[in-house]
Amino acid sequence: MPGRPRTVKVERVDEAPRVPFPTRATAGSACFDLVSAESVELERGRVTLVRTGLKLRCPKGTFLEVRPRSGLSARGVLMVNAPGTVDRDYSGEVRVPLTFLFDGRYTIRVGDRIGQVRLVEEVPAEFRPGPVHPVPSRRGGFGSTGR
């Protein structure tokens, strides 16, 4: 059973077109869609920071995670640095770094869904010096568990 909803404050960037606040596509959606506040041409191999026209401020003890949309990846559009993190103390416009994998260009238009955002609870942690004992079956990293 989920707890009570947490409030994420949203401010529109003045010069950006009025885009909707992040919303869930369906009642079962895990994340809230972010849409583009600008029309841009994505080029193969070039990273473009696509504007959302929004500033987001999450409650104390949380941060926002920006995630890619699977529908875009099926078309060759990938979010770079996925997932991205919007720290609680970040006060700028949220932008989504996108790139295109194929030859040619891909057009993002105002209002296109370009990413998803998820509110995440922070987990307090401390890092202390101490031995890290190896687990014999997990040596090597980067594919060490097989294909």
Interval 12-48: pLDDT, tens = 998 777 899 999 999 999 999 999 999 999 999 999 9
Q: For strand 62-67 and strand 84-86, is the pairing parallel, antiparallel, or unpaired? A: antiparallel
pLDDT tens digits, residue range 66-115?
999 999 999 999 999 999 999 999 999 999 999 999 999 999 999 999 99
Burial category of 107 from C-beta neighbours within 10 Å (exposed 0-12, middle 13-18, buried 19 and up): exposed
What are the structure tokens assigned to 75, written together? 């078309």
**Which CATH architecture describes the domain 9-123?**
Distorted Sandwich (2.70)
**Is residue 77 classed as helix, strand or coil in its secondary structure?**
strand
Per-residue model confidence (pLDDT) at position 1: 46
pTM of this prediction? 0.85
Query: Could you tell me which residues come within 8 angstroms of residue 103 by beta carbon, excluding any fewer than 6 positions away?
Result: 44
